[in-house]
Amino acid sequence: MSRKPFIAGNWKMNMTVATGTKLIEELKPIVKEAKCDIALCVPAILIPAMVKAAKGSRIKIGAQNVHFADHGAFTGEISADMLKDYGIKFVIIGHSERRQYFGENNDTVNQRTLAALKAELTPIVCIGESLSERDGGKTEEVLTRQLEFGLHGVEDVKNVVIAYEPVWAIGTGKTATDEQAQETIKFIRKKLSKMFTVKDANRVRILYGGSMNAGNCKGLMAQPDIDGGLIGGASLKTDFAKIVNFNK
């Protein structure tokens, strides 16, 4: 089953209107011929300006979070409808930084995922083990829990993108080896095929994230179960285009 590659950037809490606009202007011509889907998930307040900057290009602007309620007394949160006002399609959910610093857990990830799907947004659901969990042989157990709780009640899993981001590889320069990433993502797909159907699991795009860059993207993208990348640091510079053009 062929799945269209998907390279998504996660700007995290970086960039301003001026620097973000400049980067998108620089990226536009160099990603024109790319064969993959391309997204940049930007801070919420930059969405209007970045949507304007990316207009008419291959780059889709995405968000980094969405709240589970339609509206209401949730100070500081953003609803699906607010994202849809700007034509947003992709939204990151449950990034490990949100789990680590902002109390996100498998239950809130589940609620946000269901809310995104209900609003016809495509959630990029992040999962991944810590170093101590990997060293303790708990990787599969942790991922199983994140998938079973995080995707509970999801009817159409093919509308979900999964990002496997081992916490120990994020921002550390320590990428998982091609084999480690492939083996773990293959496990994730097998788990999805048990939770849903083999056919649907084979349609889910599963991205790798964690110190992915212009130098290591080719090897990772050559793995049969890796369908793309969720890129942090390297999405803040024009190097991002080299990842997008990984097959050139």
196 or 240, CB closer to ligand 13P?
A: 240
Catalytic residue among 97, 104, 129, 165: 165
78 or 234, CB closer to ligand 13P?
A: 234
Give min distance, CB of 211 to ligand 13P, in A: 4
34 or 127, CB closer to ligand 13P?
A: 127
196 or 235, CB closer to ligand 13P?
A: 235
DSSP for the chain?
-----EEEEE--S---HHHHHHHHHHHHHHTTT-SSEEEEE--GGGHHHHHHHHTTSSEEEEBS---SSSSSS-TT---HHHHHTTT--EEEES-HHHHHHS---HHHHHHHHHHHHHTT-EEEEEE---HHHHHTT-HHHHHHHHHHHHTTT-S-GGG-EEEE--GGGTTSS-PPPHHHHHHHHHHHHHHHHHHS-HHHHTTSEEEEESS--TTTHHHHHTSTT--EEEESGGGGSTHHHHHHTTT-
Q: Which of 5, 6, 7, 10 binds ligand 13P (CB under 6 A)?
A: 10
In the window 112-171, what residues touch ligand 13P (CB under 6 A)?
A: 165, 170-171
Query: Is residue 209 near ligand 13P by the rule CB under 6 A?
Result: yes
Quick one: which segment of 27-35, 71-79, 152-160, 227-235 binds ligand 13P (CB under 6 A)?
Answer: 227-235
Quick one: which segment of 137-145, 151-159, 187-195, 208-216 binds ligand 13P (CB under 6 A)?
Answer: 208-216
33 is catalytic: no
Positions marked active-site: 95, 165
Binding residues for ligand 13P (CB under 6 A): 10, 95, 165, 170-171, 209-212, 230-234
